[in-house]
Amino acid sequence: MPKSSTRLTVRKTYKLFIGGKFPRSESGRTFVVNGDNVALASRKDARDAVVAARAAFGGWSGTTAYNRGQVLYRIAEMLQARRAEFKALKVPGDELDAAVDRWVWYAGWSDKIAQVAGGANPVAGPFLNVSTPEPAGVVAVIAPTSLLGLVSVIAPAIVTGNTTVVLAPEPQTAITLAEVLATSDVPGGVVNILTGRYPETAPWLATHADVNALDLTGAEPGELAAELERDAAGTLKRVIRPPAGSSGFDADPGLRPMTALLETKTVWHPKGY
């Protein structure tokens, strides 16, 4: 067959990431970002993402801490291998390095955070009193506008056994990261990424009764953030705010991003003699 002198480039559409798959928005809507078509998430997409996150929670939270660390380290490996794709999206090289290092840093904490955040408590009487940390559940995240910011809110949530629904402001970077997650042994539903407009989708997550925590790290201080916080109060959600006077993405993020998404369970047990 004669070769065609010209061919059409296969243009990429940046779809949503829900339950380990890449569906289009159920509404069929898209919007254009830097010349690319991007799925515009709807209320139904947000609800589907919460369903996927809840379905994945039992298995992921029940996975051993050591195994979760292995998965996070695998994400770092795959992100390192796909540097060229992120550089094509104008992600700076030093930010890419920091994002890879952050996955490795949190992977190392996977089987250590329980010892640091929990412990045996002194009590009066013949009892043993032990506090152990447990994941909060499904976490809705308003993500910051950078790859490092995105990693810095997802990694601490999932390393501690939570599952997430993430609203991403930079869709090309976020969905390319989703492609990394999809090839890194992350079970479907552990991380779900929605692209679109915060004011449209965020209120549905803030009021959703099956969302346990709301991370406002990427939300600009103002009326929308205040409204989301008020909405979250209706279902007694834990609300995470960005640290005052800090970008939240320092070289050493500390334990707060992990401990903020943990519940403490205390168990009493009689001592034997």
- Going by C-beta distance under 8 Å and a sequence separation of 6 or more, which residues neighbour residue 30? 13, 24, 37, 38, 39, 40
Helix (H, G, I), strand (E, B) or coil at 109: helix
Centroid of chain to Cα 64: 19
pLDDT of residue 93: 95
What is the distance between the alpha carbons of residues 136 and 263, in angstroms, rounded to a whole number? 6
pLDDT in tens, the chain (273 residues): 556 568 888 888 899 999 999 999 999 999 999 888 999 999 999 999 999 999 999 999 999 999 999 999 999 999 999 999 999 999 999 999 999 999 999 999 999 998 888 878 888 888 888 888 999 999 999 999 899 999 999 999 999 999 999 999 899 999 999 999 999 999 999 999 999 988 899 999 999 999 999 999 988 888 889 999 999 999 999 999 876 655 556 667 889 999 999 998 888 888 765
Q: Both tokens of residue 112?
A: 């250590």
pLDDT of residue 130: 85
- Going by C-beta distance under 8 Å and a sequence separation of 6 or more, which residues neighbour residue 60? 68, 158, 161, 162, 163, 187, 189, 190
Residue of 205, 215, 206 lying closest to 248 (CA atoms):
215
What is the distance between the alpha carbons of residues 238 and 221, in angstroms, rounded to a whole number? 18
Centroid of chain to Cα 260: 14
Contact in structure between 129 and 268 (CB atoms under 8 Å): yes
pLDDT of residue 266: 87
What is the distance between the alpha carbons of residues 29 and 51, in angstroms, rounded to a whole number? 21
Long-range contacts of 89-92 (CB under 8 A, 24+ apart): 89/172, 89/173, 89/176, 91/147, 91/173
pLDDT of residue 245: 53
Contact in structure between 171 and 194 (CB atoms under 8 Å): no
Could you tell me where the DSSP H helices lie in the chain? 43-62, 65-81, 83-88, 93-109, 113-117, 147-159, 171-182, 198-207, 223-233, 256-259
Q: Where in the chain are the domains?
A: 42-270
Q: What angle do CA 104, 106, 107 make, to 5 degrees?
A: 60
Q: Both tokens of residue 45?
A: 């997409």
Helix (H, G, I), strand (E, B) or coil at 90: coil
DSSP letter for each residue of 171-215: HHHHHHHHHHHHTTTPPTTSEEEEES-HHHHHHHHHH-TT--EEE
What is the distance between the alpha carbons of residues 230 and 245, in angstroms, rounded to a whole number? 23
42-270 CATH choice from 3.40.605.10, 3.30.300.210, 1.10.260.40, 3.40.50.10490: 3.40.605.10
